[in-house]
């Protein structure tokens, strides 16, 4: 690979442009992602500063393929613009010799991206959520400062405030939800509120060991079905911590699973799906033996099973898609390197802006929509999972092979 000065020169030029563009693109995406996470999670400045380095590995699988393509387009476009490709061919050098460096870059970036997706990114994602959720009380206060309310599907109460001063909640309204099962789906839905409490001031208390959240008022006014009036102190409103604060939601994210953990989690979800399916079949057999007048009410249980099966199936397919999506995204580095070399030569451009507009941007606008659409169709069952996740690589790889073949025949 490095048998000639030409190969070494091209490869190190590729590495130089690759590192320059990788640093720029990673920095830009990091700023956008940091602002997004701070907005969604209500992070303080100190939390954001500690969490930013943990976001970098998760950005690299997106940045590395794009910058591999950009580096190949720039370097080979410059070679063609300076007539070096023509000079090499006139000197009897086979053009495959200039393709070798970009293939080496593609192999190295593919291996790097695959290694990151194997365990580095999941572990840094776990560290990120551990860092963010290390102080659940602060997270909750930040969320309330941002939204002036605290609402979560797992909470029995909804909290509204006018202002937050330090650890004091000012002009607080707490509403207790009424939840009933939807007869069609079996899922719990909010049907209104059965109690409203108003407080001049209140404080949050989090017990991490017990997994509870307490709202402690100074004085409150209650309006409900079973009680009404005011009291100087009537104890705290105690409820379970939201899953988003305890870390339960984070632990269920596929991005936090290492490559070795994916099959184990998928096997567990598949076993759960099989158990629910068997329970539904057994219950359906019991219902079929019932009196027809009682069947209608019992049929709602089957709808509940159907709802649970649909959610579990979606979770299983997401895990199965992750097994294909991670290597597919890594292989895109090699695909882009293969595409970038002939396209750069054909475009014959030496400046960054022309390369960006004429090669880099159009290629990404083709690849990533194909990747997202194919993965979504694989998850929904409209395409085989492997075909859907690998469709973008197959299409762009075929284009790269065709362009490289035409280049070598010149």
pLDDT in tens, the chain (410 residues): 455 777 888 899 999 999 998 998 899 888 888 888 777 766 777 777 888 888 899 899 988 998 999 898 888 888 888 877 778 777 777 777 788 899 999 999 999 999 999 889 999 888 888 877 777 788 788 888 888 888 877 777 788 888 888 888 888 888 877 766 555 555 555 556 777 888 888 888 888 777 788 888 877 676 655 555 555 455 677 877 776 666 666 667 888 888 888 889 989 999 999 999 998 888 888 877 777 766 666 677 777 788 888 888 988 999 989 999 999 999 999 999 998 888 888 877 766 677 777 777 777 788 888 988 999 998 888 889 899 999 999 999 998 889 888 887 76
Other CB atoms within a 10 A radius of the CB of residue 107 amount to 14
Q: Can you give the pLDDT at residue 257? A: 86
Rounded to two decimals, the pTM is 0.78
What string of H, E and C letters represents the secondary structure of 176-228? EEEEEECCCCCCEEEEEEEEEEEEEEEEEEEECCCCEEEEEECCEEEEECCCE
Task: Supply angle C-alpha 111, 113, 406, rounded to 5.
Answer: 70
pLDDT of amino acid 275 = 92
């Amino acid at each position: 690979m490095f048998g000639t000065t030409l190969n070494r020169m091209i490869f190190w030029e590729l590495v130089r442009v690759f590192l320059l563009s990788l640093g720029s693109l990673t920095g830009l995406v990091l700023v956008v992602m940091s602002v997004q996470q701070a907005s969604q999670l209500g992070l303080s400045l100190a939390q954001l500063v500690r969490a930013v380095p943990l976001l970098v590995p998760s950005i690299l699988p997106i940045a590395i393929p794009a910058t591999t393509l950009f580096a190949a387009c720039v370097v080979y476009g410059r070679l063609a613009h300076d007539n070096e490709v023509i000079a090499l061919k006139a000197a009897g050098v086979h053009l495959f010799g200039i393709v070798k460096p970009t293939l080496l870059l593609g192999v190295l970036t593919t291996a790097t991206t695959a290694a990151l997706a194997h365990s580095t990114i999941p572990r840094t994602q776990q560290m990120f959520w551990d860092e963010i959720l290390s102080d659940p009380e602060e997270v909750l206060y930040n969320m309330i400062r941002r939204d002036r309310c605290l609402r979560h599907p797992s909470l029995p109460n909804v909290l509204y405030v006018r202002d937050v001063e330090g650890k004091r909640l000012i002009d607080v309204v707490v509403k207790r939800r009424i939840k009933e099962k939807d007869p069609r789906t079996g899922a719990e839905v909010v049907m209104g509120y059965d109690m409203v409490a108003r407080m001049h001031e209140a404080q949050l208390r989090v017990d991490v060991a017990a997994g509870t959240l307490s709202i402690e008022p100074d004085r409150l006014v209650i309006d409900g079905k079973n009680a009404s009036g005011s009291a100087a102190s009537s104890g705290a409103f105690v409820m379970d911590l939201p899953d988003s604060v305890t870390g339960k939601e984070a632990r269920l994210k596929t991005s936090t699973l290492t490559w070795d953990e994916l099959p184990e989690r998928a096997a567990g979800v598949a076993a759960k799906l099989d158990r629910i399916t068997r329970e539904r079949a057994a219950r359906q057999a019991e219902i079929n033996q019932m009196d027809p007048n009682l069947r209608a009410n019992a049929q709602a249980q089957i709808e509940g099973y159907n709802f649970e099966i649909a959610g579990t199936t979606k979770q299983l397919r997401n895990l199965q898609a992750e097994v294909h999506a991670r290597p597919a995204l890594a292989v895109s580095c090699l695909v882009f390197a293969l595409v970038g070399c002939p396209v750069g030569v054909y475009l014959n451009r030496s400046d960054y802006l022309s390369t960006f507009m004429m090669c880099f941007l159009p290629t990404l606008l083709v690849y990533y929509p194909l990747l997202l659409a194919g993965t979504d169709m694989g998850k929904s069952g409209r395409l085989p999972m492997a075909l859907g996740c690998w469709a973008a690589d197959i299409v762009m790889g075929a284009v790269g092979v065709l362009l490289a073949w035409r280049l070598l025949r010149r």
